[in-house]
Chain A
């Protein structure tokens, strides 16, 4: 019996138990335990990734003595472990880079609870990635919803509270829609286990047109998870929630927690219904259109922001749009491109949020564009990291965003002329807009400025974290072919 088979079990249960311990430990102990946990998670996921990479096949892991449709199950494979590894790395780095600011923003007596919530969020994202049961998925959607709320409001000022209220209203609607969808699916099939669902949906797939009840389930799940990950018309909660919370929270929310929901959606699309059924249901063009609209509208809104954090948050809306555009094309290549973009975006966005926070700290805690002038010189690692992240998301070669744009356009060209033209035009327009707002900011942070700005002394730790992030992003742009291949072959076994 291979011990590494237990990696998915460890990845869910360990952070859950650590989260319980963090709530009673003193502040420093909780912080240490949280960091150790996320580090162990990363290592466990990396080892299980290596195991699959060297040829082991995917397997299901029963949670208890009862297999299959009776008990709960986890499923692990190349795709799951690769995605979990990438997300855990970004989570660790965002925590690392944001820890000094979190110590200032969060009241001392509540930092233990904060790190407990972070651990539970890590448990829930891993569970969303590894689960082989839709209801388990829903339970962990609940946990990550509440965890994200706690991450937002842990910095207790008015902006965060109103942002959190907005977040909760939208996200509870999303959770409700997901639950309705799962309940209706259970009513029609009598199963919650994903493998059994697939088998019992198979006879329905041949009936044409697809029954309205199955279509409704697809719509409910897509819209529910779309709201929770901030798809375009439901993105109004994103800017407040991401930008005003403490930088570690913002980075975790945009690069870690929202990716869990998207992965669950991809799981539903690919493993529960299958691409043919999704195509027959007619939701693909709608997802595609919302994704494309999100890219344009998010970028346009980002150009109009004067607060650097809000600009980065609106650029998240655009990047989520890329992922949904990939899902909306509903081919294998486009979904692989979407998965790759998830990895790229989580690496780049966690870096952008952390470096923006460092730039703000070295400009006397002011986030307006004009007061950031020269901050890239005052704080070199943050300036370099911000520039690298901005260039990656704009699509400059040698960085990750360039590759994912290439993969996305290749996938679109393989579909048909309409999709090719639409994707290429959207990409061109959004690249232009991203150049406008990111380049403008990058030029701004390197502009000479007056010397007597009160610059907060930067901790070496967060500078080091930003350097590691920059390196990883460059690595993602130059040496990511194995990762892409792993995602592709993992997707084929998915």
Chain B
């Protein structure tokens, strides 16, 4: 035991342990054999010269490497960063210059002879009430003349909600554990105690906010507002409720099921109703949704139901985003 075999120096065990300690160098292997053999025969001077030379070379090489490395992490990095900053500043300045020049060439905003005041906007303004039944002709424009774009915008909200759900939703399976493959966030048991000041303020604020949102959605075709702005207000009210009264109370009336049902129903109704209108319009089928008397609450054909749909989509998407970003679920 403990006896070192005679040819240990050239054995693979030695090489292996050296490799474990120092790593392997192609030069070392040959050198080691050469400088061990003469050492035993005490021809030190000759080998010393040679090994010294090799060592010197190696050190010089290492020195060059380390200096290069040093340069690249200190001076080099600084210089490249400086060049980068200068170049990006220059690019930014050039872009700003050209954009300003381009803006200079644009017609003045609000000028009477600006090309924006053409037959397109004239028809929206002059015949909007007659053709869409909406007193607020912004609503008439976005929900009747250009309803396809607005359908696209509602779909943007829907697909954004889907994407956030793919990313953040923690799926809790039947066994109560997060499903395999989804992000594992420990389900938050409690939100802590709701703040009493917030709670009391919210008691006054929430009904007002929600009613204001609802009236904005319902009056979309009569006064400024409409589905997008009213829905945002409703969403903000729901978030305030969640913060003031905690998850347990909020989940009683809006949970994942309600959320997805509301969005699904609203968007399906929107897409279905509008598909019908697009189809009849394009194929010259003489069917129009009755427009009613402009100015009364039940008027403007499909604009009121569509405003309600948009309001539902916007408020639910906002509230859903807030919940998903907070802890990945309702």
Contact = CB atoms under 8 A, between A and B. Distances in A.
Binding site of B, secondary structure by majority: helix, strand, loop or mixed?
helix
A72 B260 CA distance: 29
Interface of B: 98-99, 101-107, 114-121, 123-124, 131, 144-149, 151-153, 155-156, 158-160, 162-163, 165-167, 169, 171, 173, 179-183, 260-261, 264, 267-268, 271-272, 274-275, 277-284, 288
Contacts of B160: 146
B171 A107 contact: yes
Nearest to B131: A66
B181 A108 contact: yes
Given A9-B282, A123-B155, A154-B166, 13 more contacts: A20-B271, A23-B158, A72-B147, A106-B181, A107-B171, A140-B152, A156-B182, A184-B103, A188-B106, A190-B120, A191-B120, A200-B115, A213-B102
Contacts, number: 188
Given A16-B271, A64-B147, A117-B166, A191 B118 contact: yes
The 4 closest A-B CB pairs, nearest first, are A213-B105, A216-B102, A139-B152, A107-B181
Contacts of A146: 156, 159-160, 163
Interface of A: 1, 5-6, 9, 13, 16-17, 19-21, 23-24, 61-66, 69-72, 106-110, 113-114, 116-117, 120, 123, 127, 133, 135-136, 139-140, 142-143, 146-147, 149-150, 153-154, 156, 184, 186-191, 196, 200, 211-213, 215-217
A17 B271 contact: yes
A120 B152 CA distance: 10
Given A143-B156, A150-B159, A187 B275 contact: no
18 contacts: A6-B282, A13-B275, A16-B155, A19-B155, A62-B281, A63-B278, A64-B144, A64-B277, A71-B146, A107-B180, A110-B165, A133-B149, A150-B159, A154-B166, A200-B115, A212-B104, A216-B98, A216-B101
A70 B124 contact: yes
Contact of B117 (A13, A21, A188, A190): A190
Contacts of B124: 70
A200 B119 CA distance: 12
A196 B277 CA distance: 24
A187 B169 CA distance: 42
Contact of B271 (A13, A109, A153, A186): A13
A404 B166 CA distance: 39
A86 B127 CA distance: 42
Contacts of B99: 216
B115 A190 contact: yes
B107 A187 contact: yes
